[in-house]
Chain A
Amino acid sequence: MTKTITDVICPFCGTLCDDLEVVVSDDGKQLLEVYNACVIGTEKFLHSQAKDRVTRPRMHQEDGSWKEVSYDEAVEYTAQMLAKAKKPLMFGWSSTNCEAQSVGNEIAEISKACCDNTAATCHGTTLIAVQDIGLPSCTLGEIKNRADRVIFWGCNPAHAHPRHMSRYSIFPRGFFTGKGQMSRKLIVVDPRCTDTAKMADMHLQVEQGRDYELLDALRVALKGEWLPDVVAGIPAEKIREAADTLKSGRFGIIFFGMGVTQSLSKNHNIDGAIALTKDLNEHTKFSIMPMRGHYNVTGSGEVFAWQFGFPFSVDLTRGFPRYNPGDTSTIDLLTRGELDAMFTIGSDPGAHFPISAVKPIANLPSVCVDPHLTPTTGVSKLHVPVAFNGVETGGNCYRMDNVPIDCRKVVEPPEGMLTDEQFLIKVRDRLKQLKGVA
């Protein structure tokens, strides 16, 4: 016999679909089928059932082999490492729940560490722009119910957020958008002809690295000012046509991703897009929203912010919070040789960071908490596998529009495995003993 669990939240991307249905065995130990998720989400659930999962911590040996250790030994190594380090970094947090993030913050405070999340190589530049110029935004349901102008700038939801367009941004028939896709005009800005671009009413194939100039040109066009003949590879008439299309809607939204957050101008691209959004509000209603990647990077930013005051790249080494990406941010800390210990959780810097930032991890005392075998676990000294968050344990997460949804546990983890919250609580308690803190 089986049972079907409904209203399941998918713990993969920032779309945070919450309409999944998961079929599990009656004893709750086997996950059998997943309904409504995209290919990536389905695999996120199903791959938790892999027979060759690593279920116990392992220490990297001198000769490069791995030796299994107990969770208690893993706790001891981690607590000792953090207690002794002069400048440890606790990085990642984006694929775990807010409850675990909060315990992590306690640990960072006691050990006077730096802490950072995956925004450091993703939408951290968005956060810098928001800090410089603000953020006119909305929740995803507003797009579903009202939006008739949708722009995907530097992102490819067809691949990266597969159900975004069907749940929120293009296809839904909402309260004021009864004609669904027919109610909306889609503009895609991307140097590439992506699958998303193929759906667009207008595709602006911007010259690589010139998004900032194009955004400025759109603002200039809105003000009716002089433009050079071509900006960023786009003819001025096309720019004016795009500006008119945006202005003529009654509710517009700009979604954007790595194409602008991690290319040449980084935060300035986002700053320019937010400035454009602000200007558009003089003509009609417009909002802007980052397409967050990891399903709970937003949550990590929220928890850092309400506890420490800053959303990422937080330095607690002086006993109080400090923030300045370029100084306190992970890539800089690693490449400049500022750290003497590395703790990674809920992310895979080994796969995503520049190699000059990954090499130092291999040379430092390092712990990686992750259910998988990854490039990061490969270079760390201690690998601690834990239960899959959002599958084998629940906990609160925040969607790309900052809406909080409490993930569900649908299946039991393998026998004897800890959740990351449980592991972190043990580390915290041992660390308190080592530091003589109540």
Chain B
Amino acid sequence: MSEYIIKNGHVFDPVQGIKGDKKDIAIKDGKIVDKVGSGAKVIDAAGKTVMAGAVEIHAHIAGPKVNLGRIYRPEDKLFSCTPTKGMERMGGGASIPTTFKTGYEYAKMGYTTAMEAAMPPLFSRHVHEEIRDTPIIDEGAFPVFGNNWFVLEYLKNREIENAAAYIAWLLRVTKGYAVKVVNPGGTEAWAWGLNCLSVNDPVPYFDITPAEIVKGLIEANEYLGLPHSMHIHPNNLGNPGCYETTLDTMRLAEGFKAKNTFGREQVLHLTHTQFHSYKGTNWGDFESGAKEVTDYVNKNKNITIDTGNVTLDETTTMTADGPFEHHLTGLNHLKWANVDVELETAAGVVPYIYSPNISVCAIQWAIGLEIPLMMKDPMRCYITTDHPNAGPFTRYPRVFKWLMSEKARNTLIDSFKHKGKVLSQTSIGSLDREISLYELAQMTRAGPAKSLGLSAVCGGLKPGMDADVAVYNFNPDKPVANPDDIETAFSRCAAVFKSGVQVVSNGDIVSNGHKRTLWVDVKVKENAQVARDISEKFVKYYSMTQNNYEALGHHFVPNPFALEVDATQV
């Protein structure tokens, strides 16, 4: 059955500028087409909302630290596992779902593409095994570069071409998607128990600053013309006053222009912005820096951001910002896991409870909403929870509810024990904006796809694009009786298509489809220097041989989809 017609739905597609018109969407052989024959299967979308499949730009869903989180939190699965049912395999995990459950839960909410936010290159085989075992959704993974010894040495010497050649090699051998930077320099410092808390704080021994690392990686990224921009988790995450470091980081992008053939316009993507928008000097006078940060992003159009919304749940934090996790366990005394990765990066994991009755958590919640409400261009601001750090991705429908209904926000604020402090330390009380469905489509589909360089592939319903379609039981013509209806409607789709295969019907999984692993294949000129540096470091410093590091056979990536980049003519 390869022909479908989704009839009479209210379509929201920013790629074509469709703002709720009743339109039929035709699917044939995996793509959106102009029309199909009379034999096409009809999906009745009357009174429903139709959008392209959503695109998750940043979540921690596959890899060693995710699995370390699963291993060390049996209590995350106590009494909450889901049984084997029909074609769904069993699963569990409230904040760190198992891989089968991850795929099903995303699909049921209408998400069809997801990016694993941080892949330690030495562990690429693990990341890809988990991606392979996550059904339905297309996935890619971002290798981390900001603390990598090769990168630190090349950029210290301003050798952009060599850094670019190394990036191309690493993306190929790990089948990675983009240049991810986490706590630049600070995580290498953490290998000695130290950190870099500002952009000018030099890395021990390597003697390069985070500013130099960030600038160098932006240059290298544009030199290559990659589909996505440098994607950064800045220094000083989570500390009161950190908004200054965030501004310093974003200023490093000034003057750079995006160079690529994928439609991307930004040179820097700032991730989980909520965690980087804190003013104040300590947890007592802690207040929101959302205005300062969004003012800057509003003015500087070569930047995109994602929100990192706090959902007020018990969850698990996990990040390559190793020193931050050590700091967090010092605050809440909960079990701390850490893995330093030779020559490359680190990771830390600590459980966290965002209680609505703790003023700091409630303020964090407010900041997470202020950011998208203050952002003028929804095509440059995407909804995430930095899953699972600020909350599980299964809470996205709740975040949508808060964004789309001022009443829902106010009801929650009224219930806060420290309501007064939340209102005085943030401006959430004065923001009456309600995100429209069209803006929601920009923030969860068209925007992230464009930022990732996937605007020709997904995030929209234009003929020729992949047939990734989500149909929601939400009637835009009817006034919303209860804001909770928004959350319900976006939790379970009436229908979801992935690459033209119906994968969800009435909230149930009906097919696993043929998920793909998205990666970026960059051709560069031969670079003998870099080739020699690589082989030398394997002989001397790595604990694995180069041939084994490069081994990523078919059984790891059974259905690859490569975005080709030719950087040989630069």
Chain B binds chain A: yes
Which A residues lie at the B interface, using CB under 8 A? 6-7, 9, 18-19, 98-99, 102, 109, 127, 130-142, 144-146, 167-168, 174-176, 250-251, 278, 281, 284-285, 287, 301-303, 305-311, 316, 318-323, 395-396, 398, 402-406, 438
Is there contact, CB below 8 Å, between A287 and B340? yes
21 examples of A-B residue contacts, CB within 8 angstroms: A6-B545, A7-B545, A18-B545, A132-B335, A134-B336, A134-B338, A136-B337, A137-B340, A146-B191, A250-B192, A285-B193, A287-B338, A306-B130, A307-B100, A309-B92, A319-B90, A323-B74, A395-B555, A402-B123, A404-B129, A405-B544
Tell whether A284 pairs with B193 under 8 Å between CB atoms, given A306-B130, A309-B81, A322-B81.
yes
Chain A neighbourhood of B527, CB < 8 A: none
Q: Is B553 an interface residue (CB 8 A)?
A: yes
Is there contact, CB below 8 Å, between A281 and B71? no
Nearest 4 A/B pairs, CB to CB: A141-B342, A134-B335, A141-B543, A138-B340
Which residue in B73, B123, B547, B553 is a CB contact (below 8 Å) of A131? B73
Tell whether A134 pairs with B125 under 8 Å between CB atoms, given A306-B67, A320-B83, A323-B74.
no
Q: How far is the CA of A320 from the CA of B338 in the complex (A)?
A: 29
Chain A neighbourhood of B123, CB < 8 A: 402-404
Is there contact, CB below 8 Å, between A309 and B551? no
Is there contact, CB below 8 Å, between A19 and B545? yes
Is there contact, CB below 8 Å, between A306 and B547? no
Which residue in A134, A287, A308 is a CB contact (below 8 Å) of B72? A134
Chain B neighbourhood of A403, CB < 8 A: 122-123, 543-544
- Which residue on A lies nearest to B97, using beta carbons? A309
Q: Is B556 an interface residue (CB 8 A)?
A: yes
Rounded to whole Å, the gap between the CB of B94 and the closest CB of chain A is: 10
Is there contact, CB below 8 Å, between B64 and A109? no
Q: Is B524 an interface residue (CB 8 A)?
A: no
Is there contact, CB below 8 Å, between B91 and A142? no
Is there contact, CB below 8 Å, between A109 and B72? no
Interface string of B51-80 (1 = CB under 8 A from A): 000000000000010111011111011000
Rounded to whole Å, the gap between the CB of A252 and the closest CB of chain B is: 11
Give the number of residues in B that approach A within 8 Å (Cβ atoms).
62
Tell whether A140 pairs with B543 under 8 Å between CB atoms, given A320-B81, A406-B551.
yes
- Which residue on A lies nearest to B350, using beta carbons? A134
Is there contact, CB below 8 Å, between B83 and A302? no
Q: How far is the CA of A136 from the CA of B64 in the complex (A)?
A: 14
Q: How far is the CA of A403 from the CA of B545 in the complex (A)?
A: 13
Is there contact, CB below 8 Å, between B543 and A320? no
Is there contact, CB below 8 Å, between B541 and A138? no
Q: How far is the CA of A321 from the CA of B81 in the complex (A)?
A: 7
Which residue in A284, A310, A405 is a CB contact (below 8 Å) of B548? A405
- Which residue on A lies nearest to B77, using beta carbons? A309
Chain A neighbourhood of B475, CB < 8 A: none
Residues of B539-570 whose CB lies within 8 A of A = 540-545, 547-548, 551-553, 555-556
Q: How far is the CA of A32 from the CA of B269 in the complex (A)?
A: 55
Q: A308-B98, A311-B71, A396-B129 are in contact. List 6 more A-B contacts (CB 8 A).
A: A134-B349, A135-B337, A136-B337, A145-B541, A402-B68, A402-B123
Rounded to whole Å, the gap between the CB of B344 and the closest CB of chain A is: 9
Is there contact, CB below 8 Å, between B543 and A139? yes
Tell whether A139 pairs with B125 under 8 Å between CB atoms, given A18-B545, A307-B99.
no
- Which residue on A lies nearest to B127, using beta carbons? A404
Q: Is B43 an interface residue (CB 8 A)?
A: no
Is there contact, CB below 8 Å, between A309 and B339? no
Tell whether A133 pairs with B126 under 8 Å between CB atoms, given A319-B84, A320-B84, A321-B81.
no
- Which residue on A lies nearest to B70, using beta carbons? A305
Q: How many A-B residue pairs have CB under 8 A?
A: 190
Rounded to whole Å, the gap between the CB of A385 and the closest CB of chain B is: 24
Chain B neighbourhood of A316, CB < 8 A: 90
User: By CB atoms of chain A within 10 A, which of B74, B191, B336 has the most?
Assistant: B74
Which residue in A135, A308, A318 is a CB contact (below 8 Å) of B68? A135
Which B residues lie at the A interface, using CB under 8 A? 64, 66-68, 70-74, 76-77, 81-84, 87, 89-93, 98-100, 122-123, 125-126, 129-130, 133, 191-193, 205, 326, 329, 335-343, 346, 349-350, 540-545, 547-548, 551-553, 555-556
Chain B neighbourhood of A109, CB < 8 A: 84, 89-90
Which residue in A99, A142, A404 is a CB contact (below 8 Å) of B191? A142
Rounded to whole Å, the gap between the CB of A19 and the closest CB of chain B is: 6
Which residue in A139, A250, A395 is a CB contact (below 8 Å) of B339? A139
- Which residue on A lies nearest to B543, using beta carbons? A141
Tell whether A309 pairs with B93 under 8 Å between CB atoms, given A320-B83, A403-B543.
yes
- Which residue on A lies nearest to B81, using beta carbons? A320
Tell whether A131 pairs with B74 under 8 Å between CB atoms, given A136-B337, A309-B81, A319-B83.
yes
Chain B neighbourhood of A318, CB < 8 A: 83
Is there contact, CB below 8 Å, between B90 and A320? yes
User: By CB atoms of chain B within 10 A, which of A139, A323, A396 has the most?
Assistant: A139
Rounded to whole Å, the gap between the CB of A215 and the closest CB of chain B is: 17
Q: How far is the CA of A131 from the CA of B68 in the complex (A)?
A: 10
Is there contact, CB below 8 Å, between B340 and A99? no
Chain A neighbourhood of B64, CB < 8 A: 402
Is there contact, CB below 8 Å, between B326 and A281? yes
Rounded to whole Å, the gap between the CB of B315 and the closest CB of chain A is: 16
Q: How far is the CA of A103 from the CA of B495 in the complex (A)?
A: 30
- Which residue on B lies nearest to A9, using beta carbons? B548
Rounded to whole Å, the gap between the CB of A22 and the closest CB of chain B is: 14
Tell whether A144 pairs with B341 under 8 Å between CB atoms, given A134-B336, A319-B83.
no
Is there contact, CB below 8 Å, between A402 and B337? no
Chain B neighbourhood of A320, CB < 8 A: 81-84, 90, 92
Chain A neighbourhood of B87, CB < 8 A: 438
Is there contact, CB below 8 Å, between B541 and A144? yes
Rounded to whole Å, the gap between the CB of B422 and the closest CB of chain A is: 31
Rounded to whole Å, the gap between the CB of A65 and the closest CB of chain B is: 40
Q: How far is the CA of A285 from the CA of B189 in the complex (A)?
A: 11
Which residue in A144, A174, A250, A396 is a CB contact (below 8 Å) of B125? A396
Chain B neighbourhood of A9, CB < 8 A: 548
Chain B neighbourhood of A135, CB < 8 A: 68, 72, 337-338
Chain A neighbourhood of B341, CB < 8 A: 138-139, 142
- Which residue on A lies nearest to B89, using beta carbons? A109
Q: How far is the CA of A84 from the CA of B82 in the complex (A)?
A: 24
Q: How far is the CA of A18 from the CA of B191 in the complex (A)?
A: 25
Rounded to whole Å, the gap between the CB of A287 and the closest CB of chain B is: 7
- Which residue on B lies nearest to A102, using beta carbons? B133
Q: How far is the CA of A436 from the CA of B73 in the complex (A)?
A: 35
Q: How far is the CA of A305 from the CA of B66 in the complex (A)?
A: 10
